[in-house]
Amino acid sequence: MTTFVKGHGTENDFVLLDDPEGTLDLTPELIRHLADRRAGLGADGVIRVVRSAAAGQDAAGEWFMDYWNSDGSAAEMCGNGSRVFVAHLLRRGWITLGDGDEVAITTRGGVLPVSRRGDLFSIDLGAWQVAGGPAAVTAGGDVTVTFPGMPPLPGLSVALSNPHVVVVLPDVATLEALDLTVPPVVEPAPPHGTNVEIVVPMHDQSIQNELGHLRMRVHERGSGETRSCGTGTVAAAIAARAWGGDLAPDHWRVDVPGGTLYVDAEGTSSEGDSAKLTGPAVIVAEGELVDVVVS
Ligand SMILES: N[C@@H](CCC[C@H](N)C(=O)O)C(=O)O
């Protein structure tokens, strides 16, 4: 019998499957079935909750967040999922985490620290880099991104543990009108696909700000448009920080359709060694999987 919980972080939603000893046969077919919003439970991603040692992963973090997109493809990291993952471990009593304390979790992108302050969780994604360095930043981007019915726009690649391309638009009306029902075309095509974040700066960029402010929509690799993407908000803040040059702040508020996230990205305008994402984690329901025939 496999128990699951359904949870979300700013409405980026997940099914988490309890598999502490690593006995579950989690196939791409089962993932697609569980993620299906009509035939299954419905989710942007499926997370197997397994002890790192049982999954053959780096046991420096006792628990491995085994993350899968809704199309059955594996991803290195999920920022929103990591907070829900830790909230679930706490609720199950599998870890303890006092206010202000930190726990290391294992992901395909490495062992990463997650901390808690009240109901908010923060994860430090570690080192980041704007691909192409300052020259690409000055030129506005290193790839082009084409949305249906629009000319190609410059996009900036940001390498976290998972891949991102960030595009800036001039106003919220254009952002809201974007058709994200089909994947944006990124050229040259990234070898392992990419998440695409589309942002509109909301703060006055001509003056120094303590806190930058972005509106964002996202098209996720392997899941389509979602209502939030944690690593995507970090990529967006890093790109906006690079574009903004000396005036750009280190601290950002990012509004997504599903809520608000906060990013602290210290470093230079093209690289840094700490990118911290902060936001909520909500557990909605729990239950048991029944034996399903997956076609
Ligand atoms: N929604 C996630 C990212 C999930 C993985 C992504 N689709 C990928 O394939 O890289 C987040 O909150 O970061």
- Among residues 15, 78, 186, 199, the one annotated as catalytic is 78
- Does residue 244 carry a pLDDT above 60? yes
Ligand 1 atom closest to Cα of 226? 1
pLDDT of residue 34 exceeding 80: yes
**Which entry of 216, 229, 234, 281 is annotated as an active-site residue?**
229
* Amino acid 133: pLDDT: 53
Closest C-alpha to 20, from 53, 65, 63, 50: 50
Is 80 exceeded by the pLDDT of residue 291?
no
| Residue 229 known to be catalytic | yes
Assess whether pLDDT exceeds 90 at residue 288. yes
Other C-beta atoms within 10 Å of 291: how many? 6
Average pLDDT over the chain, rounded to an integer: 93
Q: Is 168 left (phi over 0), alpha (psi -120 to 50) or beta?
A: beta
Q: What is the pLDDT of residue 294?
A: 59
Measured N-to-C along each axis, helices 79-92 and 230-244 cross at an angle, to the nearest 10 degrees, of 140
CA distance 242 to 149: 28
* Mean pLDDT of the region 160-164: 91
Residues contacting ligand 1 via CB (< 6 Å): 12, 45, 69, 75, 78-81, 162, 195, 220-223, 226, 229-232
Q: For residue 293, name the pLDDT band (cuts at 50, 70, 90).
A: low
Q: Is 226 a catalytic residue?
A: no
What is the residue with the minimal CA distance to atom 3 of ligand 1?
78
Per-residue pLDDT tens digits for 96-147: 999 999 999 999 999 999 999 999 999 999 888 786 555 444 445 789 999 9
For residues 60 and 263, give the distance between their C-alpha atoms in angstroms, rounded to a whole number: 25
% of the chain beyond a pLDDT of 70: 95
Question: What's the confidence (pLDDT) of residue 256?
Answer: 98
Q: Span 76-101, mean pLDDT?
A: 98
Q: Which atom of ligand 1 is nearest to the CA of 229?
A: 12
Q: How far is it between the farthest Cα atoms of the chain?
A: 59
Structural domains in the chain, CATH included, are 3-125+281-288 (3.10.310.10), 128-272 (3.10.310.10)
C-alpha span between 16 and 177 (Å, rounded): 33
Would you give the end-to-end CA distance of the chain in angstroms?
Answer: 20
Q: Fill in the amino acid letter for 243.
A: W
- pTM score, two decimals? 0.95
